[in-house]
Each structure stands twice: as structure tokens, then as C-alpha cells.
Amino acid sequence: MAKLIHTMIRVQDLDRSLQFYRQAFKLDVSHRLDFPEFTLAYLRNAEADAEIELTWNKGRTEPYAHADGYGHIAFCVDDAQAERQRLVELGMTPNDMREFRNDSGELLARYFFIQDPDGYKIEVLERHGHYQ
């Protein structure tokens, strides 16, 4: 059986990205590898089995292109509205709260999106139904 252990994204400013993920999602560096040309920083928190690997290629000055294949990373929280407000109070700019409902009006998902400093989309879902 396979187990998801991490997903990797490339970042332009490692310190700025570490601060964002620490403040926004309480992710801390669990493992770091520094090499002359690049650094790998693995982030996690007590709730996560998988990690986000931030790859910083030293000396790169131009932003990375996300193309049309990248979708988003998703995090699950107890109260999406309260989490969105917390991010606003930190000076971040999450998108508006949204909901999915089925034909009978039953709530399927409550969520919002935010972008990290490199423009990666992140979905924040309230724990409910499938999203636990």
C-alpha cells in the first residue's frame, strides 16, 4: 500500500514562505536539507501525516510559472469562517467564503481559497462530510 508523504512546491523566497505557512497553517520545519544550490524545507504540524516540501533554488530571480496543470493544496479546519477571519487579522487576503450544497440544500462543503507568497492556491475546507 502506498502512503502519501509529501508534495513539493518551488518558492522564490524561503523565509517569506516559511513565515506564511507558519502563520497561516501552523506548519513548522520538520526536516531541512541545505545544499550549495538549493534548500529543501519539509513542513508539518501535529495533525498532518504528510508534509509540504518547499524547494528554494538559490539565485533564481524570476517567479515560477504554475501553468494550467497546478490545482491547489487543501487544508481542513474546524471553523472555516473563524479561520478566514484569523488570516484577515494577520494581514492576509483570503478569498470570500463559499459553500457547495446538493439539490436538496444539504451542505456538502464550506471553504475559501488563499494564495501563498508565490501564488500557489490553497483551499481551506471546514471539517464536514468527506473533508475530515
Dihedral sign, Cα of residue 68, residue 69, residue 70, residue 74? positive
Residue 8's closest CA among 42, 49, 35? 42
**The amino acid at 82:** A
Q: How many Å is the maximal CA-CA distance in the chain?
A: 57
Integer Cα distance of 54 and 62 in angstroms: 17
Active-site choice (51, 83, 123, 126):
123
* Catalytic residue flag (residue 99): no
| CA distance from start to end of the chain | 21
- Active-site annotation, residues: 123
